[in-house]
């Protein structure tokens, strides 16, 4: 524990001051560091008994672990001096339990980090390497021994943040990941690739070593045959390509932005930031890469140090748009930007009615298609098909509806879940709720010869690719025969479970009636999926009067779906309207000889 914190603890109730600091919020944070952002609201700077202190909020057990690692590192590094840096000291924080919140690690405020301002003055590659090797010689492998966690003060250098430190045998070689983090952070400080990985030998990873969180996400996008070593090697290559200094990026810090992306973005998008920027640098060159860094740097600099939930949503949205826009290619000249599409969706978020739902579906479809194209290209998963399902595929996306989609192929008939989860994160950042293959119906109305692939009948009716309103099941067409007249003419497995007395079910039910009629009327070729196109081909099959009746039923069930709670049985006036519309649907089906759900 530092003398400052010891003095503060001994001269008053430190815990009270810490609680008051977090209760007061972080709007007045000031760390004298232009690059600092507190994304999770975990930090507070406050005064206590004349001492300037900083508190970091963590879960209790993690706080204890970090405090203990700092204490043992301080013991091992006691008396260490390094030429050019002076005495090397470990800041051991004071642990303050905060019931209901975890614990705070309290340290003295140490001024500007080495990463801010003129911290690089007098530092050379040899000095940096000497520091890192000196720590290893004392049995401390500190991946956090980087400029943002260091302070130089009149003949001494103070190190903070010991949560990722490893206590190792004296003189042990560092792990590849530790060496990569050192290389990126120190190269960023001096503005050039220092190639510390060529100066300090790394240990050889064992096949049984655990993947970290970044690598676990990365592994899910790689071929199943990829070994632990393959994943680690690729992760190091990607991160170095993403975050080593860029000569043409001006003041933008690739390393700082990569570190910030992990805090700003959801977990999978944080990893995708590294993969995409590495891809952009390799495929498009330094100019395109530097341009993206400049955009992200502008976003970061325009954000406040203490980021509120609203600020974070806005920053995430802008970050995702910048990433995906930078990686798009081969767009037609008339294509609107992703930013324009996202703005249109934002205006339609609460817009009700049939016209708004059609426009929302069209914009959501284009956004989904554009994001998927980038994801599949960057992750080298071009063999996957993007297929739309549900009401978005049918061209009417109501207020209570998600975008239903899948990224699938014959090799991934159940969908490539990791790629889909990444898509869902990106869509969510743009204000669009979505569901992938995990939400697919489990019914098996259509089954392949080998029994390995199956589809729900209604899902089959809805399948299409973006950009076309015609039925297209993609790869599944080679494994599943189209439904016969007999299959279409009897209740599906889902309908056999009985009618649900909800507005959501009636909306499904009216669309199922239309789909059966449209598939029959089309005669098996050029079958439209969107509701408007399906209605357009019906008059010649069932006559104008019945088409008008079905159109009215569709609009009425849609309107009820928009206003009623879709997740719960209705009551009162809504209940009466559901009963009335259900009776109309029953009469309509009976007149045309169509199957439907069993009445409970």
State which H helix or E strand residue 156 sits in: strand 156-159
Residue 107 has pLDDT above 70, yes or no: yes
**Phi, psi angle pair for 466, to nearest 5°:** -60, 150
Average pLDDT across the chain, whole number: 93
3-state helix, strand, coil in the chain (%, to 5): 50, 10, 40
Q: Note the pLDDT tens digit of each residue in 182-232.
A: 999 999 999 999 999 999 999 987 655 789 999 999 999 999 999 999 999
Judge if pTM exceeds 0.85.
yes
Residue 92 has pLDDT above 50, yes or no: yes
Question: In the predicted model, what is the mean pLDDT of residues 272-278?
Answer: 99
Q: Which position has the higher pLDDT, 274 or 112?
A: 274
d(CA 46, CA 108): 10
Residue 486 has pLDDT above 60, yes or no: yes
Band (38; pLDDT cuts 50, 70, 90)? confident
Q: Note the pLDDT tens digit of each residue in 43-66.
A: 999 999 999 999 999 999 999 999
Q: Note the pLDDT tens digit of each residue in 425-457.
A: 999 999 999 999 999 999 999 999 999 999 999
d(CA 219, CA 188): 27
Three-class HEC string of 332-380: CCCCCCHHHHHHHHHHHCCCCCHHHHHHHHHHHHHHHHHHHHHHHHHCC
Question: In the predicted model, what is the mean pLDDT of residues 538-548?
Answer: 97
| Residue 208 burial by Cβ neighbours in a 10 Å radius (0-12, 13-18, 19+) | exposed
Q: Note the pLDDT tens digit of each residue in 562-599.
A: 987 544 455 578 889 999 999 999 999 999 999 999 87
Local structure of 430: helix, strand or coil: coil
Residues forming beta bridges with residue 52, ordered by sequence position: 47
Compute how many other C-beta atoms are within 10 angstroms of the C-beta atom of residue 473: 21
Sequence ranges of the domains in the chain:
328-483, 484-600
Q: What percent of the chain has pLDDT over 90?
A: 84
pLDDT score of 201: 94
pLDDT score of 188: 95
Residue 270 has pLDDT above 90, yes or no: yes
Residue 304 has pLDDT above 80, yes or no: no
d(CA 431, CA 416): 23
Band (306; pLDDT cuts 50, 70, 90)? low
| Per-residue CA distances from 397 to 413, 418, 430, 562, 574 (Å) | 25, 25, 16, 10, 21
Q: Which position has the higher pLDDT, 117 or 266?
A: 266
């Amino acid at each position: 524990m530092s003398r400052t914190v010891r003095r503060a603890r001994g001269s008053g109730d430190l815990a009270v001051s810490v609680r008051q600091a977090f209760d007061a919020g972080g709007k007045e944070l000031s760390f004298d560091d232009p690059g600092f952002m507190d994304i999770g609201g975990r930090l507070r700077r406050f005064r206590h008994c004349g001492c300037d202190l900083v508190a970091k909020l963590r879960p209790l057990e993690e706080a204890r672990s970090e405090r203990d690692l700092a204490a043992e590192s301080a013991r091992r590094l006691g008396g260490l001096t390094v030429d050019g840096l002076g005495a090397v000291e470990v800041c051991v924080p004071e642990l303050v339990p905060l019931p209901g919140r975890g614990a705070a690690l309290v340290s003295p405020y140490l001024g500007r980090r080495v990463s801010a301002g003129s911290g690089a003055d007098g530092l050379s590659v040899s000095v940096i390497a000497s520091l890192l090797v000196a720590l290893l010689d004392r049995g401390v492998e500190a991946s956090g021994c980087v400029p943002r966690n260091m302070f130089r003060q009149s003949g001494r250098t103070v190190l903070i943040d010991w949560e990722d430190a490893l206590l190792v045998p004296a003189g042990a070689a560092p792990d590849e990941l530790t060496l990569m983090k050192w290389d990126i952070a120190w190269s960023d400080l001096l503005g050039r690739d220092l190639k510390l990985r060529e100066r300090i030998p790394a240990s050889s990873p064992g096949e049984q070593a655990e993947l970290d969180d970044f690598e676990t996400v990365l592994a899910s996008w790689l071929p199943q045959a990829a070994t632990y070593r393959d994943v680690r090697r690729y992760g190091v290559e990607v991160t170095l390509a993403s975050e080593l200094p860029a000569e043409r990026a001006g003041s933008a810090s690739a390393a700082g932005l990569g570190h910030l992306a992990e805090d700003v973005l959801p977990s999978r998008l944080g990893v995708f930031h590294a993969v995409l920027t590495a891809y952009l640098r390799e495929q498009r060159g330094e100019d395109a890469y530097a341009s993206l860094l400049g955009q992200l740097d502008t976003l970061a600099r325009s954000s406040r140090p203490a980021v509120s939930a609203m600020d974070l949503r806005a920053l995430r949205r802008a970050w995702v748009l910048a990433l995906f826009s930078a990686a798009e290619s081969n767009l037609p000249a008339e294509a609107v930007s992703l930013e324009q599409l996202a703005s249109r969706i934002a205006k339609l978020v609460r817009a009700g009615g049939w016209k708004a739902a059609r426009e929302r579906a069209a914009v959501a479809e284009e956004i989904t298609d554009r994001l998927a194209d980038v994801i599949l290209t960057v992750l080298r998963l071009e063999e996957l098909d993007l297929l739309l399902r549900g009401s978005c595929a049918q061209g009417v996306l109501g207020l209570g509806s998600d975008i239903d989609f899948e990224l699938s192929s014959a090799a991934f008939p159940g969908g490539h879940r990791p790629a889909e989860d990444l898509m869902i994160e990106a869509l969510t950042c743009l204000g669009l709720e979505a569901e992938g293959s995990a939400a697919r119906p489990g019914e098996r109305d259509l089954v392949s010869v080998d029994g390995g692939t199956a589809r729900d009948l209604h899902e089959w009716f809805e399948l299409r690719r973006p950009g076309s309103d015609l039925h297209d099941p993609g790869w599944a067409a080679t494994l599943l025969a189209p439904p016969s007249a007999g299959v279409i003419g009897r209740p599906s497995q889902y309908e056999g479970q009985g009618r649900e007395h909800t507005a959501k079910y009636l909306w499904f039910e009216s669309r199922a009636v239309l789909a059966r009629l449209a598939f029959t009327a089309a005669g098996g070729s050029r079958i439209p999926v969107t509701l408007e196109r399906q209605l357009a081909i019906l008059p010649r099959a069932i006559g104008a009067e019945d088409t008008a009746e079905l159109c009215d039923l569709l609009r009425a069930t849609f309107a009820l779906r928009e206003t009623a709670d879709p997740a719960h049985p209705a009551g009162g006036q809504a209940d009466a309207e559901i009963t009335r519309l259900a009776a109309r649907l029953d009469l309509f089906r009976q007149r045309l000889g169509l199957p439907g759900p069993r009445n409970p």
